[in-house]
Amino acid sequence: MKEFVSRVLTWRPLRYLLAGGTAAAANLTLLYVLVHFFHVWYLEAAVVSFIVGMCMSFVLQKFFTFSHYSNEKFKRQTSLHVSLQLFNLVVNTALMYTAVDLLHIPYLLAQFLISAGMAVYSFLFYKYFVFTLDYPKPFS
């Protein structure tokens, strides 16, 4: 059984989903706790929980998913990760509005489909641009 689990966890897309799912669960849990137990305004709580989830996602993707332990490119990786997360936030909001209000797709189904699509291109972005060991050199 140990060997099976070890072999399964070497598959990077699965590690990506586990890391992303863990960060998303932390985001949602913190949002719930802040709103329902600490009575923080939901928009403030959403910002705080988004930032915590984004930080957690970065750490898990860097070390668990992509096994990139070097801190040599940390600033670049961080800025690319934050940029992607902010881009995803805008895209998700726009697509949710379109899917739910204009196309009348149930919101949970819409979020599931949008998240699945975003997970695919985000994985590729991380793999080829953020956590790669060889960055393209500009103007060379």
How many domains does the chain divide into? Answer: 1
Distance, CA of 24 to chain centre: 7
Question: Is 138 inside any structural domain?
Answer: no
In a domain, 60, yes or no: yes
pLDDT in tens, 64-123: 999 988 888 899 999 999 999 999 999 989 998 999 999 999 888 888 899 899 999 999
7 pLDDT more than 80: no
Per-residue pLDDT, 134: 58
Interval 29-56 mean pLDDT: 90
pLDDT at residue 133, as a whole number: 63
Domain span at residue 10 reads 2-130
In a domain? residue 9: yes
- Cα–Cα distance, 111 to 77 (Å, whole number): 27
Rounded to whole angstroms, what are the CA distances from 75 to 62, 80, 81? Answer: 12, 9, 10
Answer yes or no: is pLDDT of 19 > 60.
yes
Range from 43-47, 94-98, 122-126 carrying the lowest mean pLDDT: 43-47
pLDDT at 123: 94
Is position 48 within any domain?
A: yes
**Identity of the amino acid at 117:** G
What is the model's pTM? Answer: 0.77
Confidence of residue 33 (pLDDT cuts 50, 70, 90): very high
Contact of 100 with 1, CB cutoff 8 Å: no
At residue 1 the predicted structure's pLDDT band, cuts being 50, 70 and 90, is confident
Closest to 20 in 3D by CA, of 48, 50, 60, 55:
60
Q: Average pLDDT of the chain? A: 88
